[in-house]
Structure 1
Amino acid sequence: MRRPKIRNQDRINSILPDELILEIFRHIGDKSSRDACALACKRWRHLERPSRHTIRLGASASPDALVKLLVRQFVNVRNIFIDERLPISHPIQGRRHGSDQSALSSLRLHFMTDEKSGSEESEPEPCYLSDAGLTAVAEGFTKLEKLSLIWCSNVTSEGLKSVAEKCRSLRSLDLQGCYVGDQGLAAVGECCKQLEELNLRFCEGLTDGGLTELALGVGKSLKALSIAACARITDVSLKAVGSHCKSIESLSLDSDCINNEGILAVAEGCPLLKVLKLQCINATDEALKAVGVSCLSLELLALYSFQKFTDKSLYAIANGCKRLKNLTISDCYFLSDKGLEAIAIGCSELTQLEVNGCHNIGTLGLESIGRSCMHLSELALFYCQRIYNSALLEVGRGCKFLQALYLVDCSNIGDDGICSIAKGCKNLKRLHVRRCYEIGNKGIIAIGEHCKLLTDLSLRFCDRVGDEALVAIGQGCPLHQLNVSGCHQIGDAGIIAIARGCPELSYLDVSVLQNLGDMALNELGEGCPLLKDIVLSHCHQITDVGLAHLVRKCMALESCHLVYCPNITSAGVATLISGCANIKKVLVEKWKVSERTKRRAVPKPLVPPAQMA
């Protein structure tokens, strides 16, 4: 974007006052447009910087220095997200003007895996954000409202104390994977009286003392709390949460050290609870009974890996939690059809249901859901060997608003079940099927004929699905995403039908298709100009010629996986890199990447990348 000039006269900067330009910037929501404004001239850059409210950082070579740079340049930041799980990477070609703008580049490209050794190309040894960097954040961004420090392992209580003391408007704090101690958490409780959200997952340095102090300090404001793998947080501190945090609406607990006593305290002390996620293997029916009696506003319940819960728990939830909309039960071996039937009758407003590995739940339970839960919009069945086609028949009859269906390793569900869904659930937008070997062309053809809103289809390792099914999908569904990895009967004809019928396709995974060739790639290039991500790994028939056709027309391509494609050579990889201006990630054998291609793809950045919004 350039500043308009007419006959050497600056008709904008000479007339418009700062206040009006600032007001224009406030109405620009798109990040790329803001970046363009910042590059127009020095005055616009100076005026635009205060409008940036969010910083996102991955791992960087000198995080403390980068933070200090950002503090000097952007004074009104409210939200900071630092995630050191993200690797150091380099921006693609395209140098920006000015060192500050170079720091903001977020385009990345990775070359991974060596076909012969199987090892990934080593990343540079990262450095980590320290207490000094966190102190710079606290002193520079005193208006901070949201702070996320994901796996920032060098941050301690000292850094957290500085944030607590300086950033008293803090509302959301995520410390996942940080080894902070009780002193830092106590300081947050003492100073941050507006804190509403706190994530303490994998904070191994915390004990009951720190959480108790926090509950005493922010009990009136705290609304969401997450705890996982904190071995020294027990029922003692949960009692404090139940006593002082009356406004809690969301609680997530994953711990072997928490028993009935702690859950009972929270259930009885936090009547506003709407979201409850539990993975506490020592809890029993007594805990869920208390939830059913006291938490009448509960809307989401997720139960993971319980060996002591029985149908009595679901009876209690069904009797008390009439507002329940979202239920997940995973690896709860003693729950049966009777419990699910009780939920269907008592919680008829249910919209989302996930059953994962609960081997005693079968057809009868799901049939009850189909008959009673007419508002169901999402259904996920994972490893449900006792659920048969008749269950999906009832879902198809009763759940007209179903929009998403996920089936994984459901060996007794076949074409008849999918046909029932297709004919009854015409609002279906997403269908994901994996390793359901009884589902074939008949069921998927029915989806293509009846589900005209389907945009996301995944059929991984469904051996009976072939080209005929994809022809029906191409003719009937406006797909944006398609995954047919491992569907060995699919070849050029099926993918060509998708290319001709789904012009808005943006994601495609055709890995492990042995019959796929260059003709399909050519058609994809012609018919799918919006394609951004494609996975071609283990496709033995495709060659550099087909890849060149794809690259020439798919100008939006950002990611391409080409591992174990024997007829793709270094020349094909070079064509991909040079022909795709937006490419960010290529997965390919290391030996297929020449030094010249590497230099072209990943020039060394001037400073570590960051993202501003």
Structure 2
Amino acid sequence: MEFEGEFNCTDNICLTVLDIPWDDILIPRILPFLHLQQIWSLRLVNKQFNQLIELYFSSLRQLDITQCRKIPVSAFKIMTQDSNLLQKLVLSDFKELTDDVLVPVLGRNPRLSHLNLSACSGLSIKSLTVIRTKCVEITTLSFKECHWVPSASLEAMFIERENLEVIDLTGCWELVDNTIITLVTQSCRLRWLSLARIYGITEVAIVEVANFCPDLEYLDIQGCWRVTDNAISILARSCSKLKVLKVKDCPRIGERSLARLRIHGMMIDVPKPQSHSTYASLPHQRPPSARMAAVDVPINFRI
């Protein structure tokens, strides 16, 4: 017995996935829920699926290759060859990426607002120049662990960058105070900033961060050993919206400046040091040093 409305292939009514409307259903409502590797594999099914996936890639507004453990350059070229609507591009740790591959993609996608090039060691100043001239709407930018990034090129890029809100410069060793000063004086909307392990910057740069970034919520200066308590004190007074501060491996920053920030509930990656006041709060207790001094018996330390 057949149920009413049941599809019968003998009547040529048998449907496939490809019969679902592409532009209205498959591309915007189904394919985005698949893993990038699965989408890529669909290209191999037949010519129609190949056409579908090519159309999907050309309509992408976001592309994050970190979903795949390793992606060949040839695959990336196919994914982006017809793209011109990209707004978010995440290429973290894509070490095989070169200027010749990236520059055409940047040129075709002037609406990019989010660009992550963390640890892309195969790029050069050529890519920075295209970002500066073509991608003028960027609000989020990451050059984390891009040791090749020179100060002069970044300073030129930061000029008239009023839209920047999030920038990660972790591990960009060649940067100096003037680079950071150029950034913050041109990008007063910054909310998130990482300068971790940029060993050349001093408190001069951090003071300017405090002066020009009133909306700053996150600041990472781990390993910036030249920064002192004075800069953090100014930061505490000027950046009232600051919620997270990372100062690990900054030997010149101590509780003298951090205490005021802790009072306001700020998250700091360095724990509050223990003090003798802990023992004072206990009844009939003295600090260990005091109790040891009162014992007039020689102590034999065994090694």
Q: Same fold (TM over 0.5)?
A: yes
2:181 partner SS? helix
Q: Residue in 1 aligned with 2:265? A: 480
1:166-177 equivalences under 5 Å are none
Q: In the alignment, does 2:72 pair up with 1:283?
A: yes
1:405 partner SS? strand
Q: In the alignment, does 2:302 pair up with 1:517?
A: no
Deviation of 1:331 after TM superposition, in Å, equals: 1.8
1:296 partner SS? coil
Specify the code of the residue in structure 2 equivalent to 1:517: S
2:91 partner SS? strand
Cα pair 2:242 2:266 within 8 Å, conserved: no
> Could you state the TM-score of these two structures normalised by the residue count of structure 1?
0.38
Deviation of 1:351 after TM superposition, in Å, equals: 0.8
Cα pair 2:31 2:39 within 8 Å, conserved: no
Specify the code of the residue in structure 1 equivalent to 2:232: I
- Matched residue count: 262
Deviation of 1:275 after TM superposition, in Å, equals: 1.1
Alpha-carbon deviations, 1:309-333, whole Å to 9, x = none? 1123342233111111111112211
Per the alignment, do residues 237 and 481 of structure 1 end up closer, same or farther by CA in structure 2, a change over 3 Å counting? same
2:89 partner SS? strand
Deviation of 1:366 after TM superposition, in Å, equals: 2.5
Per the alignment, do residues 414 and 472 of structure 1 end up closer, same or farther by CA in structure 2, a change over 3 Å counting? farther
Deviation of 1:296 after TM superposition, in Å, equals: 1.8
Q: In the alignment, does 2:40 pair up with 1:227?
A: no
Deviation of 1:302 after TM superposition, in Å, equals: 0.8
Q: For the residues of structure 2 that align with 1:333 and 1:471, how far apart are their CA atoms?
A: 39
Q: For the residues of structure 1 that align with 2:225 and 2:137, how far apart are their CA atoms?
A: 32
Alpha-carbon deviations, 1:6-26, whole Å to 9, x = none? xxxxxxxxxxxxxxxxxxxxx
Cα pair 2:173 2:197 within 8 Å, conserved: yes
Specify the code of the residue in structure 2 equivalent to 1:483: I
Cα pair 2:247 2:269 within 8 Å, conserved: yes
Name which of 25, 39, 42 aligns with 1:237. Answer: 42
Q: For the residues of structure 2 that align with 1:457 and 1:479, how far apart are their CA atoms?
A: 12
Q: In the alignment, does 2:55 pair up with 1:273?
A: no
Structure 1 runs (4+) deviating above 6 angstroms are: none
Q: For the residues of structure 1 that align with 2:276 and 2:163, how far apart are their CA atoms?
A: 45
Per the alignment, do residues 269 and 227 of structure 1 end up closer, same or farther by CA in structure 2, a change over 3 Å counting? closer
Cα pair 1:246 1:272 within 8 Å, conserved: no
Name which of 155, 170, 177 aligns with 1:389. Answer: 177
Q: For the residues of structure 1 that align with 2:264 and 2:132, how far apart are their CA atoms?
A: 32
Q: For the residues of structure 2 that align with 1:310 and 1:358, how far apart are their CA atoms?
A: 13
Name which of 302, 306, 311 aligns with 2:99. Answer: 311
Q: For the residues of structure 1 that align with 2:130 and 2:163, how far apart are their CA atoms?
A: 17
Cα pair 2:170 2:198 within 8 Å, conserved: yes
Q: For the residues of structure 2 that align with 1:235 and 1:290, how far apart are their CA atoms?
A: 9
Specify the code of the residue in structure 1 equivalent to 2:64: K
Q: For the residues of structure 1 that align with 2:233 and 2:50, how far apart are their CA atoms?
A: 53
Cα pair 1:362 1:386 within 8 Å, conserved: yes
More strand by share: 1
1:304 partner SS? coil
Cα pair 2:143 2:169 within 8 Å, conserved: yes
Alpha-carbon deviations, 1:45-95, whole Å to 9, x = none? xxxxxxxxxxxxxxxxxxxxxxxxxxxxxxxxxxxxxxxxxxxxxxxxxxx
Q: Residue in 2 aligned with 1:456? A: 244
1:373-452 equivalences under 5 Å are 373-452=161-240
> Could you state the TM-score of these two structures normalised by the residue count of structure 2?
0.72
Q: For the residues of structure 2 that align with 1:449 and 1:282, how far apart are their CA atoms?
A: 46
2:142 partner SS? strand
More contact order relative to length (CA 8 Å, sep ≥ 6): 1
Cα pair 2:42 2:49 within 8 Å, conserved: no
Q: Residue in 1 aligned with 2:296? A: none
1:307-346 equivalences under 5 Å are 307-346=95-134
